[in-house]
Amino acid sequence: MDVERFLRELPGRFAGFPGSETPIDRRLQPLCEAVEGLSEENNLALIALAAGCLGDGEAYVEAGSYRGRSLIAAALGGAGTAIGIDNFSFDDSDPARLAANVERFGAGDRVRVIDGDAVAVLREHDLPPIGVFFYDADHSTAATRAALDAVRLLLADPALIVVADAEWPRVRVATDAFVAANHEARLRLRIAGRAGGQPWWWDGMDLVAWHADSPHAGTLPRG
Ligand SMILES: C[S@@+](CC[C@H](N)C(=O)[O-])C[C@H]1O[C@@H](n2cnc3c(N)ncnc32)[C@H](O)[C@@H]1O
């Protein structure tokens, strides 16, 4: 995953970053309108750009797909393989509607959905190298941290981790602890959402770059 290209190009996708309420390119607006979800058009533009920066053979993997908004955005953004993990635990969860949405946007050939708990799937399934990992599932501190820990061994080098609802204190605690514990991880950008006066970024996004060959990689995790 070309993390530096992604970070370089991200601001240019908006007239004023991060203050613009929509991206310049409105191609994902119909997706937002057609598929129920818990992300804004700006979040989708970021996901799509990240997916477009994947390296050969790398996958976009997300935990928490709901009806497919972010998963389809990744496929439309250029992910050759986009994998959504969801345990369908929301009261109105509906795997059939998720599958139908994926088909409706013509992404069935490159999207795969795995039904299961995010951490269990990351630990037990044979997944391709993950260039972009988007975490948008259980937002408790323990579940967020467990998923970030579980994905470590599956990440490409370099890779990008995107954390949704990042400004929620219980999510932030997990992200900060993960970054502090892993020399390979660096918090590169913290985008404020509703709490920071930017509801067009939902509840914020944290962008963590993962470089296995960072000077300290290979040493024991801190903390
Ligand atoms: C916030 S929604 C995802 C929204 C989606 N990314 C979007 O852009 O619309 C969270 C999803 O995570 C799923 N979920 C909750 N806990 C989970 C877990 N432990 N493992 C896998 N999926 C989980 C829920 O079923 C729900 O569909």
Encode pLDDT of 76-127 as tens digits. 999 999 999 999 999 999 999 999 999 999 999 999 999 999 999 999 999 9
Q: Is the pTM of this model over 0.85?
A: yes
Position 213 scores a pLDDT of 76
From the alpha carbon of 89, which atom of ligand 1 is closest? 25
Residue 8 has pLDDT above 90, yes or no: yes
Buried b (16+ CB within 10 A) or exposed e, 170-189: ebbebbebbbebbbbbebeb
CA of 213 to the centre of ligand 1 (A): 31
Q: Is residue 217 part of a domain?
A: no
| DSSP secondary structure, 106-139, as one string | T-TTTEEEEES-HHHHHHHS----EEEEEE-S--
Domain count along the chain: 1
> How many angstroms separate the alpha carbon of residue 95 from the centre of ligand 1?
12
Distance 138 CA to ligand 1 centre (A): 6
| Backbone conformation region of residue 202, classed left if phi is above 0, alpha if psi is from -120 to 50, else beta | left
Question: Burial code of 21-58, b = ≥16 C-beta within 10 A, e = fewer?
Answer: ebbeeeebeebbeebebbbbbbbbbbbbbbbbbbeeeb
pLDDT of res. 219: 44
Find, among 205, 185, 93, the residue nearest to 139 by Cα. 205
- Distance (angstroms) between ligand 1 centre and the Cα of 221 equals 28
Residue 86 CA to ligand 1 center (angstroms) comes to 6
Residue 42 lies in a domain: yes
- Tokens read off for 74: 């990744």
154, 188, 10, 66: CA torsion to nearest 10: 50
Q: In ligand 1, which atom is closest to the CA atom of 90?
A: 25
pLDDT at 11 over 60: yes
Residues with CB under 6 A from ligand 1: 37-39, 63-66, 69-70, 85-90, 93, 117-118, 136-138, 143
Please state the rounded mean pLDDT for residues 7-33: 98
Q: For residue 173, tell me if it sits in a domain.
A: yes
Task: Tell me 163's DSSP state.
Answer: E
Cα 146 from Cα 26, distance rounded (Å): 35
Q: pLDDT digits over 34-51, tens only? A: 999 999 999 999 999 999
- Residue in the block written with tokens 């991206």: 23
Nearest in space to 186 (alpha carbons), one of 210, 204, 163: 210
pLDDT tens sequence across 133-169: 999 999 999 999 999 999 999 999 999 999 999 999 9
Ligand 1, residues 35, 39, 87: which to mutate, most atoms within 8 A of Cβ? Answer: 87
Q: What angle is formed at CA 94 by the lines to CA 93 and CA 96, rounded to 5 degrees?
A: 165
Residue 55, CA atoms < 13 Å, CB-side half-sphere: 14
Which atom of ligand 1 approaches the CA of 88 most closely?
25
In degrees and rounded to multiples of 5, residue 22 shows phi and psi of -140, 160
Ligand 1 atom with minimal separation from the 118 CA: 20
Q: Is the residue at 53 inside a domain?
A: yes
pLDDT in the model for residue 221 = 41
CA-proximal residue: ligand 1, atom 5 (nearest): 65
Rounded CA-CA distance 63/144 in Å is 10
- Do the domain assignments include residue 215? no
CATH code for the domain of 35: 3.40.50.150
Contact status, residue 41 vs residue 197, Cβ threshold 8 Å: no
Domain annotation covers residue 222: no
Q: Among the atoms of ligand 1, which is closest to the Cα of residue 67?
A: 9
Domain annotation covers residue 154: yes
What separation in Å is there between the alpha carbon of 180 and the centre of ligand 1?
25
Mean pLDDT across the stretch 178-182? 98
Domain containing 11: what range?
A: 3-210
171 falls within a domain: yes
SS3 per residue for 91-112: CCCCHHHHHHHHHHCCCCCCEE
